[in-house]
Amino acid sequence: MEPVGVGAQADSCGECVDCKAGNENHCANTVNTYGSIYKGKKSGKSYGGYATYNRTPGHFVLRIPDGLDSADAAPMMCGGVTVYSPLKNYGAGPGKTVRILTDPASYLSNS
């Protein structure tokens, strides 16, 4: 058995225009790694890291390289990517200011 991890998305419908174009992250029927419902033949709830096991199509699974400890790999999965991706996409880096919101409601009330 080899160590693997799953990012924020655990499945998609595989049938819509976005899925067929390879843009499964835009699928209207996406299954998030935690708290989503599998539909159709795969019915059930997705519990992500809180589950005893996880069922995810292989192309949503990332192999963890040999020698990388699970504790070091874990932040690179769902939670880490959720934070890293927008920082990377919007050019965060040295000399830039970043605001991390933990409660969007408090941000809206303090604007």
pLDDT digits (tens, 9 = 90+) for 88-109: 888 999 999 888 776 666 656 5
**Cβ neighbours, 10 Å, residue 64:** 18
Structure tokens at 36: 């989503």
Q: How many residues does the chain have?
A: 111
pLDDT score for 41:
65
Listed as ranges, residues in the chain with pLDDT below 70 are 40-42, 49, 102-111
Buried-state track 66-76, b at ≥16 Cβ within 10 A, e below 16: eeeeeeebeee
* Residues 52, 56, 60, 66, CA torsion sign: positive
